[in-house]
Structure 1
Amino acid sequence: MGGTGGTVTAVSRDTGHNFTKPVRDSIRLLAGLGVEGDAHLGVTVQHRSRVAQDPTRPNLRQVHLIHSELHEQLSAVGHEVRPGELGENITTAGIDLHALPVGARLRLGADAVVEVTGLRNPCVQIDAFQDGLLKRVVGRDEEGNVLRRAGIMGVVLADGEIRPGDAIGVELPAGPHRPLERV
């Protein structure tokens, strides 16, 4: 699981629905809403393609987290990716985010709490950012199951300011654990 915690390495937000989010000195999480000043802030779904399907669905994608280790893995195969460039709000280190179960809680900094809801489902926009990147973050396992490696999504349970260098604590839900699925 990557131990009992990790560290925030970068934070990002953008008021527009752009693929890449600018890195900031800090971000503020708002319970039940998401990242203050971010285009995906809201109780109901804010992702444009999902709004088109059903704008009344709950927003299970209030916060997007990616582990910095993914950036390192992508760099090793020729894709230079920096924090925020894949649209994440929080870049982490020291936690295997994809191994977390649904309902895991991440305590970020002094006060913020995010509950993990599922996997980010990367789309073709990722190839517009860097050609060939989609096949690096979506693949298949030995049984042919789709593997998504472009981060996880969560909802904000408790307000808080988050900065690079802040500690991240992990609280696992009572079992049995449900593996992450696309949200």
Structure 2
Amino acid sequence: MSHSDAVVVAVALDDKHAFSKRSQSSIRLLEGLGVEGDAHCGEKVKHRSRVRANPNQPNLRQVHLIHQELFDEVAAKGFSVQAGDMGENITTSGIDLLVLPTGAILQIGEEAEVEITGLRNPCAQIESWQKGLLAEMVYKDDAGNLVRKAGIMGVVLKGGEVRPGESIVVRYPEKPWRSLERV
């Protein structure tokens, strides 16, 4: 599978646990930690509900990525979503993030590498932000399978600066591939 047109559209971070993140001209990924200065940066889980459940869990949600095409898809249904609005650190284009297998590695720009750990589970805050949007992000398909579309999560294997316009190269794990599950 070639993703030769895959690029970073935007990058964002926020040092508070806010729903949306602020766009930046660049972000720095820190190996084993996440996005420097972001509320979710760290070796152990930072997501508030997960910290309450067990603060010693490894942080499998260091970097949140969403593809721009999802925003275009929901815009056609009357929603307005911009980069960073749904809390993602990296907005991509030219790659369907949701079909990548667990363990795929994204080389972003010259240095940074992110290993994909799973799907983001969309939270109820999406509904309070824009009524009806949650139903676009999580629903059951015709076969009764739960579909989650609010992006993917990963861990930083190799740190580096990430800027809009940088290329993304996918390295696939050995087969058999495991479909992404909620993390």
Deviation at 1:3, TM superposition (A): 2.7
Deviations 1:107-141 (A, max 9, x none): 00110000000000011000111111100111112
**Percent of residue pairs bearing the same amino acid type:** 57
**Counterparts of 1:42 and 1:63, CA distance in 2:** 11
Amino acid at match of 2:151: G
Instruction: Provide TM-score, normalisation by structure 1.
Output: 0.98
Deviations 1:112-171 (A, max 9, x none): 000000000011000111111100111112221110000000000001000000000000
**Counterparts of 1:182 and 1:157, CA distance in 2:** 20
Instruction: Provide TM-score, normalisation by structure 2.
Output: 0.98
Deviation at 1:2, TM superposition (A): 6.3
Asked whether 1:141 is paired with 2:149, we answer no
Flag as ranges the 4+ runs of structure 1 deviating above 6 A.
none
| SS of equivalent residue, structure 1 residue 17 | coil
Match in the other structure for 1:174: 174
CA contact (8 A) 1:118 1:180 kept: yes
Match in the other structure for 1:81: 81
Match in the other structure for 2:58: 58
CA contact (8 A) 1:118 1:181 kept: yes
Amino acid at match of 1:64: H
Structure 2, unpaired ranges of 5+? none
CA RMSD, Structure 1 to Structure 2 (Å): 0.9
Aligned pairs for 1:14-33 (under 5 A) are: 14-33=14-33
**Counterparts of 2:15 and 2:84, CA distance in 1:** 13
Amino acid at match of 2:178: R
**Counterparts of 1:43 and 1:125, CA distance in 2:** 25
Amino acid at match of 2:181: E
Match in the other structure for 2:111: 111
Aligned pairs for 1:35-74 (under 5 A) are: 35-74=35-74
Deviation at 1:5, TM superposition (A): 5.5
CA contact (8 A) 1:2 1:95 kept: no
| SS of equivalent residue, structure 1 residue 92 | strand
Q: Evaluate the alpha carbon distance shift between residue 70 and residue 109 of structure 1 in structure 2; reply closer, same or farther with a 3 A threshold.
A: same
Match in the other structure for 1:165: 165
